[in-house]
């Protein structure tokens, strides 16, 4: 350890712990350009990531609001009397609420959460690049996301207005502008979605999902090109940080599966507008074909949700255990294996849809098989933690919560993968609990772990550890209380998507609702921690966690073009060059053991060290 | 940019202030031109993969319905003009050739030739679309629009006194059966409505004992139940609910007994669409015109079962979806080529920098390739 440097007048230092002038410290991507248009027209991947963050979190709030409405309506076994709604209107309101909860959460929150926010921000940094391969396309993706989401808002707002006007003032708006409020379930299953009573809402919502698909496809395309072409010298494929492997596998799914959803939704729109007779059984179409098409996208889509989460967890677990990741090659390859196998299991959503028994057996087998690469990851994370010096920071608590939730979600998936038990459990709360454990529990926890892990890098501010950890525990407890009882209710036969239920399930619903309130409090607490950090947080050092992937080799927040030099790839999980500096409460790169030295002295390359700011 | 960049000054929007005389076409976040070109090509190939997957959904739908109702597809394809399809195939192949040549011209820096070839390629695309326009118009004129043609609803009252609105799809039937040249206006005009009412009355009169509408019983003289009619092996896999719904739908499509008015399509005369023959003796399917087509059993309106007749428009639904999406791609491709041609005229392209021509060329070849699959699947099937 060299002498401990004094922090500069700005209170922050570069990666070597050397003081940085106030002027240099204030020049970063956040201050590069001012005004709303410098954001809305930016090509900077970091700013686009932040814009995604704002939008995605706003939609998370909307989706969460519907969840709370659902849970509150389920507090009593009877249909709640919502004055002035009639009974049918209340039921319809419930149907629309679960539909919009699902659609908003899936299309607007979970799918873009990690790739669009963390991926956009971190991926080029991890590659030591100045930007993604196609910056303009990246901005276009954001506009696709916003445009598509507007359709959802339109459907949602129209539904609420229709309901309110009809029941409060007796004004029927349907003849004026058609039905609002989708009630088909987020899957848009035919024949619900081709029926008469959902009106134009299906067209608007599917058009929205179609446009959102472009956002997803183009982001995936951008990431693939970036990872292929922008890797720095010294970063071979097996030196990629595991988050990039996760994002790479995700991108492959995005570009191969999303187009199928796109054509499916186009056909559905044509079915509604032109009556082409492809999905509507009254026209000779086959509704099961719709299910095949839909799940050919939507099953891989659950891996779009979870694979980046795996990547985040690999980063966080290794970093906060202060130990090299265990089984790097296995984790990387299992991501790819999941991406490919994920395309072959969609039929397990259709065990009760009239699929042949042989087909069911094949899908059942492959579904069980996909548990193998998933389990490989879990074992590798546990082995990474084993004998590490674990730092119980907020990201680590979320990451450990992830392992817990993902294990429960994964193991209960085995019951649903077996055809015989699935026929019993199909469309019960057991299924609801299972996919909330994997999709929400796991992805949300990984998202929050990643947000806290990279927060100091994104905004250059520290957050309150006490607040962050409190929120993490509240979310963990609230989530488990909400959903673990749903396994019991489901196994006892409580079907999903009903606003009323027999008295015997009352206790489970009450517990679940109370848990959801705790979860809500926890999520708002996490939001409060972030807002507090933005306004009152202390300046973050370049490397608060001692990570060695390249995003930690630049200042926090990063300058406009990310690096002042041209970094070279090193082993992202080799933490030996970073020494903890108590005075800074962060890690500094020890210059004597400069990892770039070999690269710098190589004869075929002019020196390119990471420079002090 | 392999220099040691030891800036103390902040970077501006373009990090190329090294004084090396970089190619102005090199974006600031790439190190070398080959890296940029490689990224662009990889991106384009990846995008083409998504295009293939998108069309893959349609090919899948085609395969499913063709496998389930092979007779319907065989019947439907007689309405498509093979000669026009073949001409279009040749036109597109030629335009692909001019496009490939254009890429070569760009690499060699022959700007005039490049612009000429690009314009020729656009011409090929335009020719394709014009022929397609005539094909579509002819289909519309025969009432073979997308979907089941004109869609009307009838409202009846059920036992509980509630109004029940039921859809009915009649125009396609009449297109296949009688009206050789029914204009398709895209909406129901009063004239259409009158014709439809007539058709409904006609069907009720000769309804083979079945009457469409709600709650009406089937007559005794043709007392086969609907599931009996549907006992086609491939129908058994259908959803129970779907089968019930289809039964209702098929009832609305009941076949009149008077066959003389019906038109038969013939295959592939050099015209703008199939020609219609009126033939046959009323009520006697055995005398209907036989269409020789290879060694296969001829498929006519009469050899189709009632269910298959009800599904005849499905072939056209898939035809319009596939060729429509493909046509959209052709138009987009023409726009892109126009953009590239404009840039070429402006002198943007050099032997060192011509990657946009290359990328648009890749896209154009994919559009061509998809047609190469569409043509045999839709026009040449047996």
Of A275, A286, A606, the CB nearest to B169: A275
Looking at residue A601, the DSSP 8-state letter turns out to be H
Q: Helix, strand or coil for residue A587?
A: strand
Q: A45, A136, A277, A558: best mutation site toward chain B, by most B Cβ within 10 Å?
A: A277
Contacts of A229 in chain B (CB under 8 A): 35, 38-39, 42
Residues 6+ apart with CB under 8 A from A602: none
Q: What's chain A's Rg over C-alpha atoms?
A: 25
pLDDT at A285: 78
Contacts of B311 in chain A (CB under 8 A): 277, 284
Distance, in Å, from the CA atom of A494 to the CA atom of A512, rounded to the nearest integer, reads 13
B64·A196 Cβ contact <8 A? no
Contacts of A565 in chain B (CB under 8 A): 4-6
B1·A276 Cβ contact <8 A? no
Distance, in Å, from the CA atom of A265 to the CA atom of A271, rounded to the nearest integer, reads 9
> With a cut of 50, which residues of chain B have pLDDT below it?
1-19, 149-153, 166-188, 202-298
Contacts of B325 in chain A (CB under 8 A): 263, 266
pLDDT at A37: 92
Whether A284 has its CB under 8 Å from any CB of chain B: the answer is: yes
The ipTM of this complex is 0.89
Helix (H) or strand (E) holding A251: helix A242-274
Nearest to A333 by CA among A234, A240, A439: A240
| Token pair for A352 | 């009760």
pLDDT at B21: 53
Task: Give 10-residue mean pLDDT values along chain A (613 residues).
Answer: 42 73 78 90 95 97 94 92 80 89 94 95 95 96 96 85 81 77 87 75 91 96 96 92 97 95 93 82 80 93 95 96 95 95 92 82 93 95 95 96 96 93 93 94 95 95 95 97 96 93 95 97 97 93 92 90 86 90 86 60 54 53
Q: Helix, strand or coil for residue A466?
A: helix
A225·B28 Cβ contact <8 A? no
Helix (H) or strand (E) holding B166: strand B163-169
Of B147, B241, B246, the CB nearest to A276: B147
pLDDT at A171: 81
Whether A260 has its CB under 8 Å from any CB of chain B: the answer is: yes
pLDDT at A591: 64
Nearest chain B alpha carbon to A210? B54
A258·B50 Cβ contact <8 A? yes
pLDDT at A599: 62
- Partnered with residue A461 across adjacent β-strands are A539
* Shortest distance, CA B90 to any CA of chain A (angstroms): 28
Of A267, A289, A561, the CB nearest to B321: A267
| Token pair for A397 | 């608590």
pLDDT at B31: 87
- Burial label, A548 (beta-carbon count in 10 A; 0-12, 13-18, 19+): buried
Nearest chain B alpha carbon to A562? B11
What predicted TM-score, i.e. pTM, was given to this entire model? 0.82
* Shortest distance, CA A607 to any CA of chain B (angstroms): 6
B249·A611 Cβ contact <8 A? no
DSSP B66-109: HHH-HHHHHHHHTTS-HHHHHHHHHHHHHHHHHHHHHHHHHHHT
Contacts of A230 in chain B (CB under 8 A): 29-30, 35, 39
DSSP A308-375: HHHHHHHHHHHHHTTSPPSSHHHHHHHHHHHHHHGGG-GGGG-TTTT--HHHHHHHHHHHHHTHHHHH
Of B15, B28, B239, the CB nearest to A354: B239
Nearest to A350 by CA among A364, A369, A333, A330: A364
């Amino acid at each position: 350890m060299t002498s401990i440097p004094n922090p500069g007048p700005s209170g922050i230092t570069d990666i070597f712990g050397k003081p940085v002038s106030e002027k240099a410290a204030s020049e970063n991507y956040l201050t590069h350009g001012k005004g709303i248009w410098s954001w809305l027209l930016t090509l900077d991947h970091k700013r686009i990531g932040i814009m995604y963050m704002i939008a995605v979190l706003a939609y998370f709030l909307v989706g969460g609001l519907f969840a709370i409405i659902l849970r509150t309506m389920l507090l009593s076994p009877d249909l709640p009397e919502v004055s002035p709604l009639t009974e049918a209107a209340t039921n319809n309101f419930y149907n629309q609420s679960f539909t919009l909860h699902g659609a908003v959460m899936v299309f607007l929150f979970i799918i873009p959460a990690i790739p669009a926010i963390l991926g956009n921000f971190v991926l080029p940094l991890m590659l030591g690049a100045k930007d993604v391969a196609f910056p303009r396309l990246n901005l276009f993706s954001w506009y696709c996301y916003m445009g598509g989401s507007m359709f959802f808002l339109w459907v949602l707002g129209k539904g609420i207005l229709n309901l309110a006007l009809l029941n409060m003032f007796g004004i029927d708006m349907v003849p004026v502008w058609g039905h609002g409020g989708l009630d088909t379930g987020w899957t848009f299953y035919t024949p619900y979605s081709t029926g008469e009573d959902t009106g134009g809402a299906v067209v608007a919502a599917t058009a929205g999902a179609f446009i959102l698909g472009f956002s997803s496809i183009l982001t995936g395309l951008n990431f693939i090109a970036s990872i292929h072409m922008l890797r720095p010298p010294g970063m071979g494929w097996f030196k990629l940080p595991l988050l990039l492997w996760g994002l790479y596998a995700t991108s492959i799914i995005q570009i191969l599966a999303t187009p199928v959803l796109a054509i499916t939704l186009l056909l559905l729109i044509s079915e509604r507008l032109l009556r082409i007779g492809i999905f509507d059984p009254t026209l000779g179409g086959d509704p099961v074909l719709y299910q095949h098409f839909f799940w050919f996208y939507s099953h891989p889509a659950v891996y779009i949700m979870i694979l980046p989460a795996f990547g985040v967890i690999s980063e966080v677990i290794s970093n906060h255990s202060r130990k090299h990741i265990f089984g790097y090659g296995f984790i990387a390859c299992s991501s790819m294996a999941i991406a490919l196998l994920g395309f072959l299991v969609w039929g397990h959503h259709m065990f009760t849809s009239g699929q042949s028994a042989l087909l069911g057996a094949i899908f059942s087998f492959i579904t069980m098989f996909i548990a193998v690469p998933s389990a490989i990851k879990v074992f590798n994370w546990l082995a990474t933690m084993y004998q590490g010096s674990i730092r119980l920071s907020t990201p680590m608590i979320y990451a450990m919560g992830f392992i817990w939730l993902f294990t429960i979600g994964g193991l209960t998936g085995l019951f649903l993968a077996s055809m015989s038990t699935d026929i019993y459990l199909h469309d019960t709360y057991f299924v609801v609990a299972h996919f909330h454990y994997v999709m929400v529990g796991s992805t949300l926890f990984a998202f929050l772990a990643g947000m806290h892990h990279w927060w100091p890098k994104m905004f250059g501010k520290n957050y309150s550890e006490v607040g962050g950890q409190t929120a993490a525990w509240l979310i963990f407890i609230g989530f488990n209380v909400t959903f673990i009882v749903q396994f019991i209710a489901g196994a006892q036969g409580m079907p999903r998507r009903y606003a009323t239920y027999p008295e015997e399930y009352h206790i489970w619903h009450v517990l679940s609702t109370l848990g959801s309130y705790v979860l809500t409090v926890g999520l708002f607490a996490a939001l409060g921690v972030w807002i507090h950090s933005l306004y009152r947080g202390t300046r973050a050092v370049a490397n608060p966690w001692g990570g060695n992937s390249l995003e930690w080799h630049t200042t926090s927040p990063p300058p406009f073009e990310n690096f002042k030099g041209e970094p070279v790839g090193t082993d992202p999980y080799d933490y030996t060059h970073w020494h903890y500096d108590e005075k800074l409460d962060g890690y500094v790169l020890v210059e004597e053991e400069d990892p770039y030295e070999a690269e710098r002295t190589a004869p075929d390359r002019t020196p390119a060290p990471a420079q002090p700011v | 940019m392999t220099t040691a960049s030891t800036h103390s000054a902040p970077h501006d929007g373009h990090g190329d202030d090294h004084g090396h005389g970089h190619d102005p076409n090199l974006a600031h976040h790439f190190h070398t031109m080959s890296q940029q070109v490689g990224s662009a090509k990889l991106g384009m190939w990846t995008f083409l993969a998504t295009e293939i997957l998108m069309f893959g959904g349609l090919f899948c739908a085609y395969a499913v319905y063709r496998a389930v109702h092979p007779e319907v597809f065989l019947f439907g394809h007689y309405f498509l003009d093979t000669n026009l399809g073949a001409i279009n195939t040749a036109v597109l192949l030629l335009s692909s050739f001019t496009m490939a040549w254009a890429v070569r011209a760009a690499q060699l820096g022959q700007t005039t030739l490049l612009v000429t070839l690009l314009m020729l390629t656009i011409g090929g695309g335009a020719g394709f679309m014009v022929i397609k326009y005539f094909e579509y118009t002819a289909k519309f004129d025969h009432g073979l629009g997308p979907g089941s043609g004109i869609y009307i609803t009838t409202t009846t009252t059920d036992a509980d006194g509630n109004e029940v609105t039921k859809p009915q799809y009649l125009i396609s039937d009449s297109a296949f059966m009688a009206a050789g040249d029914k204009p398709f206006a895209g909406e129901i005009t009063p004239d259409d409505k009158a014709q439809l009412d007539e058709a409904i009355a006609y069907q009720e009169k000769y309804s083979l004992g079945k009457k469409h509408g709600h709650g009406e019983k089937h007559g005794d003289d043709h007392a086969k139940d609907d599931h009996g009619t549907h006992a086609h092996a491939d129908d058994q896999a259908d959803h129970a609910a779907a089968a019930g719904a289809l039964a209702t739908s098929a009832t609305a499509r009941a076949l009149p007994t008077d066959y003389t008015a019906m038109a038969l399509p013939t295959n592939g005369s050099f015209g703008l669409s199939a020609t219609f023959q009126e033939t046959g003796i009323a009520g006697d399917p055995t005398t209907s015109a036989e269409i020789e087509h290879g060694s296969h059993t001829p498929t006519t309106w009469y050899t189709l079962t009632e269910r298959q007749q009800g599904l005849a428009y499905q072939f056209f639904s898939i035809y319009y979806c596939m060729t429509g999406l493909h046509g959209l791609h052709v138009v987009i491709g023409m726009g892109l080529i126009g953009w590239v041609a404009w840039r070429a005229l402006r002198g943007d392209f050099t032997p060192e920098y011509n990657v946009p021509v290359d990328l648009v060329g890749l896209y154009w070849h994919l559009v061509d390739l998809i047609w190469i699959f569409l043509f045999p699947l839709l026009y040449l099937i047996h």
